[in-house]
Structure 1
Amino acid sequence: MAHRLALSLPDKPIVPVCADVFCFTLLFAATLIKGQYVLLSSDRAHTRLTDLARQHDAVCVSLEGDPEEASLPEGGRRIAVDTYWKKGDPHSDNGDGFNPVLAPDCLVAVVFTSGSTGQPVGHRKYWGGLVTRSVTARVLIDPEPEVATVIGTVPPYHMYGFETLVLQALNTRVRTVAGSIRYPADWVTRLEKAAPPRILVTTPLQLRGLIKSGLVVPALRRIVSASAPLADTLAAEAERSLKTEVTEIYGSTETGSVAIRRTVNGPDWRWYDNIRLHVQKDGRVELTAPGALTYTLSDFIEPLDSGTFRLLGRVTDLVKLGGKRVSLAALNGLLSGLSGVEDGAFLPPDTSAMDPSVRMQVFVVAPSRSGSAILQDLRQVIDPVFLPRRVVMVPELPRNSVGKLTLQALRALAATQGSEQEMGTVTIFSDHPCFPGHFPAQPVVPGVLLLEAGMALIKRADVQVHSVKFLRPVLPDQQVQFILRHTEDALRLTGLCEGQLVLRAILKVRSGATDL
C-alpha cells in the first residue's frame, strides 16, 4: 500500500493532514519510500499548515476518508486510497514492493513544539534515533510477556502520538488500532474492537472526559497519560473506576519520552535505561539519551537515588509578584485539585517583572461552582499576592488536540473577556484635610475623593461619569487598586481594596468627543 501511495507523492517534504492513525502511518511510510520526510505540527490552523509548507518547500497531503480531509489547505493534494488497499488485497499492485533500508542518520521528520510558552520550534528526527527510542520506551510502557494493543485518543502528528502510536507500531511488537478520536464513545468502540491486553494512550483532560461519560470500558492493562500534569486525585479516580493502573510518561518534543511513573505511587519519576545527566552551574540539567541529541531540560528537577527524580517546575513558569516567587505549575496543580474544578489555569501578567501591583488572572471550568466560591478556596491554599481579583468562569479552555494550553491561546481567551487594564493604586493618607469633617469620630474616605482619584489615573478628558456605586467604605491609609475595562459602548472603572470591590463606575464619551 505504501509503495503504491509513494508513486502518487511529489518529490518534496510532506505535511500530513491526517488525524487517523492508519492514514497517517501509511502516508508517513510512503514519504520515507519516496526518500523524503514529514513536517509535523500540532497547530492545525490553515494558515499554520500553509506557512509550514511554504517555508520548507513542502506539500500538504491528505488521504480520502481521513477526518482531516476537509481541512486540507488550498494548494494541498488529496489522494484517493482504494478500498482494496486498506483491506490488504494480496493481488493489488504495490509498486516495486521493496522496502528501503534507512540509514540511522536519515532525516525522517521535523517535529514542531506546541509553543506552550512561545513560538513553535522545529526539531529534526533521524531514523536511527527514533528506532532506538521506540525500543527503549516499549520495555517500560509494555513490559509484560503478552503483546499489547495500543488505542490512542491523541493525534499522530503530535510527538506524543507519533511516538506511542505510529513509531511503536512500526518499530516494536506493539499493535495499534486506528479510528476516530473525537469522543469517549469512539474510544470505547475502538477498545471493544481491540484484542486484549489493551493499553489506552491519552491525556489528563481526555481521561477526565472518559470517566465523566459513565461508559462501560473494556478491561485495560494500563493507561498511559502525557502532555499535561496529571492530578493525583484524577489518577486515583481513574484507577478505581476503570480498574487498571495509570502511568505517566515524561519527555519533550526534543527527546521523546525519557521517564515514567505510576501517579498514585507518589511524585518520583524513573528514568528510562541508559539516561545520563549533567547538572549545570545554574541548576538546570543536561540530558543525554540513546538515540537523542543532548538536551537541556526545560524543567528544574531534583535528582534522587536509584535512577529517580522529582519535577520541581518548568524553567519558564516561575512567576514573580510582590517580591515572591511561585511555580505556575504548582498554582495550576492547586487549582485543579479544588472541589468541582474540571479544568483551570492561571495566567500571569505580561508586566509582572515591572509592576509589582499587577495581579494574576484565573480561568476555570467548574459547572457546579461559582467563581467567588473558588476564589475563597484559593485564599486557603495560596499566598495572597498570587490571588486573582476574580475567577473567570468559562465553558472550556482553548486546549489543543493533545490537551496543551499555549500561552498565546490563554491570552487570546483573556482578550475575549474584555480589554482590561490596571490603572494604578491610590492611598488617601490619614493626614488628609478631608478626614476631620468626614467623619470626626470614624474617618472614612469620601466617595467623591475616591472617584476623582480614579478618574485622574485614566488621564482622559473626553469621558464623564454616567453612574457610580460606592460598595464599601475605605479607611485612611488603605490602598485602592483601580482597573479600567473597555466594553463596546462604555468604560467600566472598578476599585478594589484588600481584594474587595469598593467602587464601580460606568464612564461614557462626552457628546461630540471621538469614539472610544
Structure 2
Amino acid sequence: MTQLALLAHKDLDAPIAYRRGRPISVRRFLADARALAQALPTTDHVINACADRYRFAVGFAACLISGRISLLPPSHMASLLEQLQAFAADAVVLADTKHRDLRLPIFPFPNLGEAIAADKDAHIEIPEIPAEQLATWVFTSGSTGRPQAHRKHWGLLRKNVANEARALGFTREDPVTLVGTVPPQHMYGFESTLLLAWLSGGSFDASRPFYPADIAETLTQCPANSMLVTTPFHLEKLLEANLRLPKIGSLLCATAPLSAGLARRAEAAFRAPLFEIYGSTETGQLATRRTSRKTAWTLFPEVRLQARDGQIWAEGGHVEGAVPLGDLVEQLDECRFRLKGRNTDRVNIAGKRTSLAWLNQQLLALPGVKDGCFYVPEQTEQTGESSVIRLTAFVVAPGLSAEHLMAALRQRIEPLFLPRPLILLDDLPRNAVGKLLRVECEALLAQHERDRDKGHGRLP
C-alpha cells in the first residue's frame, strides 16, 4: 500500500499558518491534530463545519490520521447540514461556532492550547496516509439544485494539488502564504487555501476576511510573497472600495467567469500576476490560465477531455473516473481549450438562442446596477398546448426604478429575452463564494409573487 506524506514541509518549526500575523509552526499543527484525533467521538464520519481555517485544517488532519472520513458541507445552513446526516447517519458536527437550531450531534472544537505544550524536544513526525484512503466526501454548492456528494481519495487529492503547485510555479525554496476569501469547505477553498499550503511547503492565514478593509489588512499582516485566493465577486467588491492595497506575490481566482478587464485591474492594483483556475467539485481542478493575457486554458498533466455522447468528459490524472463537464468547450489541442458557456446556461425562446452569461453581462453593464442576475424559473407559462419560458431578473440598483432598467435593457437585448418580472432588491443572497443558489432564487421569486398578489409588486 502506497503511503503519502500529509505535509511537504521539511522543517517542523517552519510556519504552516498565520493568525493575525503571528506564525503557527508545523510542530504545533501536528500536535493539535493528534490531540483532536484522540478527543473526537468514536465515529466514522465528521462534518467539518469549522469557520476558522486553522481549526478546519486541524480537524481535517485529525480525521486523516485517525482514519475518519470528513464531510465538507456546501454551507453552514442547518437544513443543509442535516441533509448530510441522511448521507452518513453516524456523522457528528465538528464546530467552532454555535449552531443552536441544528438537530445533529455537535462536538465543539476544544481549546487545544490548554491541553498541549508544543515541546520542541518532543518526537514528532509528519504522518503518512495511504494513497487509497477515502479522505473526504465533498458536496456541490446546490447552485443548480440539490447538493450532490463526490468522493475524494488522498492519493488523487495530493496529485491534483501537486499539479496546481507546479502550474503556479510554487517551490519549497520560496514558500507562499495563502490568504483566502473563500471557505475551506468549498472545493476551491479546500484545494487552494489549505491543501496547496500543505503540499507545497507553504502556509495559510487562519481567517477568512470578507470586507475589503479586512482583506487589505490581512494581506498587510502576512509575508510579502502572499497569494490572495478569491472569486470574481469578492475581487470586484474589493477593487470598488478604492483602498490602498499592498503589493503581493500573486492572485488566484475561480468559481465564476472572470473577465480579462477585471483581471488586468486586479493585477495593476496589487502589482502582481493573476491566475485563474478551472474545475468543479466533481472533477477537482483541471486547468489554469493567465486571464489578462490568454483566453485558452491549459490542462493539468495527464488530464484529458473526451467528446462522446454529445458531451465533453474529463478523465485521467487525478480525476476519479470519467466526469461529464457542465460547460461547453472548444478543444484547441490535447492540452488547451476555450470555454463557450455552460450546458445549463443556454436559453432558447421561440427559436432564438442566447445564454444567461451574456444576459447577465448586459444587465451588469447598466449604469447604477450594483449586482444582478437572470434566472429561468422551473415553471413555464402555458399558452394553449405549448409552454413559454419567462425569464426573471433580480437586480440591486439603488435609486433606480424597474421601468428605467427595463428601458435600458431594451437598448441591449431582444424583447423575447427581457425579464418578466424584473425584481428590485436591496442585495442578493449570495453564498460564501459569490454564487446564488437555485433554492434562493426560487424563494425570491415566490416572495415576489406573494407580494404582487397582495398589491405590493414592483413589476414594470
Bucket of the pairwise TM-score, normalised by the shorter protein: 0.7 to 0.9
Write the distance in 2 (CA, Å) between the matches of 1:360 and 1:180: 35
CA distance in 2, matches of 1:246, 1:177: 19
CA distance in 1, matches of 2:259, 2:114: 45
Per the TM alignment, residue 223 of structure 1 is displaced from its structure 2 partner at its CA by: 1.5
Aligned partners of 1:58 and 1:227: how far apart in 2? 31
Correspondence for 2:52 among 13, 16, 20 = 20
1:83 aligns with 2:113: yes
Contact 1:322/1:356 (CA < 8 Å) preserved in 2?
Answer: no
| Offset of residue 368 of structure 1 | 5.9
Cross-structure match for 2:207:
179
Hey, what does 2:391 align to over in structure 1? 360
Residue 399 of structure 1 is aligned with which of 427, 430, 434?
430
| Deviation, structure 1 residue 393 | 2.2
Which position in structure 2 is the counterpart of 1:41? 73
Deviations 1:278-319 (A, max 9, x none): 11141x111114122221111111111472211112112222
Q: Which segment is superposed worse, 126-135 or 341-350?
A: 341-350
Alpha-carbon spacing, 1:340–1:85, altered in 2? closer, same or farther (3 Å): farther
Q: What whole-Å deviation, never above 9, does each CA across 1:470-497 have from its counterpart, x for those lacking one?
A: xxxxxxxxxxxxxxx411xx59899xxx
Choose which of 440, 449, 453 in structure 2 pairs with 1:418.
449
User: Does the aligned pair in 1 maintain the 2:393–2:423 contact within 8 Å?
Assistant: yes
Aligned identity (percent) is 35
Cα deviation, residue 70, structure 1:
5.0
Which residue matches 2:453?
486
Q: Give 1:401 shift.
A: 0.9
> Mind listing any 5+ residue stretches in structure 2 that lack a counterpart?
1-31
Contact 1:3–1:97 (8 Å) recurs in 2: no
Distance 1:109 1:72 in 2: 25
- Secondary structure class of the residue paired with 1:102: strand
CA drift at 1:15 = 0.4
Deviation at 1:43, TM superposition (A): 2.3
Q: Tell me what 2:353 maps to.
A: 325
Larger mean CA deviation between 312-321 and 231-240 belongs to 231-240
2:297 is matched with which residue?
Answer: 269
Q: What's the counterpart of residue 102 of structure 2?
A: 73
> How far apart are the structure 1 equivalents of 2:236 and 2:118?
40
Q: Aligned ranges for residues 83-232 of structure 1 at < 5 Å? A: 83=113, 89-90=118-119, 100-143=127-170, 146-232=174-260
Quote the residue 2:39 is aligned against: 8
Pick 1 or 2: higher relative contact order, CA cutoff 8 A, min separation 6: 2
Distance, in Å, in 2 between the alignment partners of 1:263 and 1:370 is: 35
Does residue 287 (structure 1) correspond to residue 314 (structure 2)? The answer is: yes
TM-score normalised per structure 2: 0.84
Report the CA distance between 1:345 and its aligned residue. 0.6
Shift of 1:380: 2.8
Residue 246 (structure 1) aligned with residue 270 (structure 2): no
Q: How has the CA–CA distance of structure 1 residues 245 and 321 changed in structure 2, closer, same or farther, with 3 Å as cutoff? A: same
Residues 204 and 230 of structure 1 are in contact (CA less than 8 Å); yes or no, is this contact kept in structure 2? yes
**Residues 384-431 of structure 1: per-residue CA shift (max 9 Å, x gap):** 2111135322221111111111111111112222338xxxxxxxxxxx
For the 8 Å contact 1:59–1:76, the answer to whether it is kept is no
TM-score, normalised with respect to structure 1:
0.75
- Alpha-carbon distance in 2 for matches of 1:319, 1:184: 35
Letter in 2 for 1:27: G
Structure 1 contact 361–389 (Cα < 8 Å) conserved: yes
Instruction: Give, in whole Å, the separation in 1 of the partners of 2:288 and 2:210.
Output: 26
Greater mean deviation of Cα atoms: 308-317 or 118-127: 308-317
Query: 1:60 — aligned with what?
Result: 92
Measure how far apart 1:90 and its partner are. Answer: 1.4
Deviations 1:110-149 (A, max 9, x none): 0000111111100000000000001001112344773221
TM-fit CA distance, 1:263: 2.4
Partner SS, residue 2 of structure 1:
helix
Change beyond 3 A, Cα 1:148–1:251: same
Q: Secondary structure at the match of 1:263?
A: coil
C-alpha distance 342-181 of structure 1, shift in aligned 2 (>3 A) = same
Call closer, same or farther: CA 1:71–1:231 in 2, change over 3 Å: farther
CA distance in 1: counterparts of 2:249 and 2:276, whole angstroms: 14
Q: 1:342 to 1:274 in 2, by over 3 A?
A: farther
Residue aligned with 1:418, SS: helix
- Considering only aligned residues, what root-mean-square deviation do their CA atoms show, in Å? 2.7
Task: Give the distance between the partners of 1:23 and 1:173, measured in 2 at CA.
Answer: 19
- Distance, in Å, in 2 between the alignment partners of 1:99 and 1:492 is 61
Distance (whole Å) between structure 2 residues aligned to residue 147 and residue 3 of structure 1: 25
Residues 85 and 318 of structure 1, relative CA distance in 2, 3 Å threshold: farther
Is the contact made by 2:48 and 2:73 (CA closer than 8 Å) also made in structure 1? no
2:365 to 312, 334, 337: 337
- Whether the 8 Å CA contact 2:381–2:388 is kept in 1: the answer is no
How far off is 1:323 after superposition? 2.4
> Residue 216 of structure 1: SS of its match in structure 2?
coil
Structure 1 pair 61–252 and aligned structure 2 pair: CA distance change class (3 A): same
Shift of 1:244: 2.7
Q: Provide the rounded CA distance (Å) in 1 between the counterparts of 2:431 and 2:84.
A: 18
Does the 8 Å contact 2:176/2:197 carry over to 1? no
3-state secondary structure, aligned to 1:25? helix
Residues 369-408 of structure 1 mapped to structure 2, 5 A cutoff: 369-408=400-439
Give 1:231 deviation, angstroms: 3.2
- In structure 1, stretches of 5+ residues that fail to align are 421-484, 495-500, 502-516
The separation in 2 between residues aligned to 1:34 and 1:291, in whole angstroms, is 24
Task: Please tell me the residue identity of whatever aligns with 1:38.
Answer: S
Structure 1 SS opposite 2:314: strand
Q: What's the CA shift string for 1:324-358, capped at 9, x where partnerless?
A: 22222222233233333332110113244965544
Mapped to 1, the partners of 2:200 and 2:457 lie a distance apart of 61
Check the 8 A contact 1:321/1:353 in 2, yes or no: no
